[in-house]
Amino acid sequence: MTRAPWMIYLARLAVTVSLPVLLIASPLYYFISPAYVASQYARPGFPPSSRFTPDERQRLSDVLVNYLRGRASLDDMVSLRTDSGQIALRSQEVEHMVDVKGVTDAFFIAHPVALVLLLLGGWFTWRVGRDEVARALRQGVWLTGGLMLLVLLTSLVDFSTFFTKFHELFFAPGTWTFFEQDTLIQLYPLVFWSDTTLLLGGVILAEAVLVYALTGFLTRERQRPGR
């Protein structure tokens, strides 16, 4: 059965475009988790909270992270209280968390969609030739690597500006700025986000390197005698 060039092109494109989404979204299952936040809190030199004890800080954060993962409800977050009995989050903080959940939900939905597209596109392209699969994967790797290098270099040059531009991209003006004593700042100071950006970027680049290595294996297999 002859395959039309446009079908082959679309299949390759599906592989190339879905790979960066897959590589970026996959680590979020760990990075958006109580375990990751706990690892950051336990890191030597991580700034302590001026309002909360370490246990209280972790308890409050666990509810917020579980809300983002769908394991805690909006009511759980709204009714969250500090050890002293005060409501933990101001209304603006709650609204921002709702906005953040909208963004994270989009990534968690995009992840399985990208996986399905990658598998379907890869299967169709494989039937044309494994060299075509390798080519499409390499293009996805270069796309991912270019994006991550841009993110990492920008964040290293001036993280405050990067942080601002990132929030302006995803959130409405005035909805994501808070006071130093607000709970969100006490739980997640700027150093938390700068370290997370570097770690996440590094993990994504490592994933990209592994995929690139896989393309080399596919090419070598193709070049073996009798293949």
A 10 A CB-CB count for 81 gives 11
**Hey, where are the domains in the chain?**
5-223
pLDDT score at 130: 77
- What are the pLDDT digits (tens) for 28-85? 999 999 999 999 999 999 999 999 999 999 999 999 999 999 999 999 999 999 999 9
pLDDT score at 193: 97
Cβ atoms of residues 150 and 54 within 8 Å: no
Query: Phi and psi dihedrals of 81, rounded to 5?
Result: -125, 150
Q: How far apart are the C-alpha atoms of 216 and 227, rounded to whole Å? A: 15
Q: Residue 136 — pLDDT band, cuts 50, 70, 90? A: very high
- What are the pLDDT digits (tens) for 150-171? 999 999 999 999 999 999 999 9
* pTM (predicted TM-score): 0.90
Q: Which of 100, 55, 101 has the alpha carbon at shortest distance from 82? A: 55
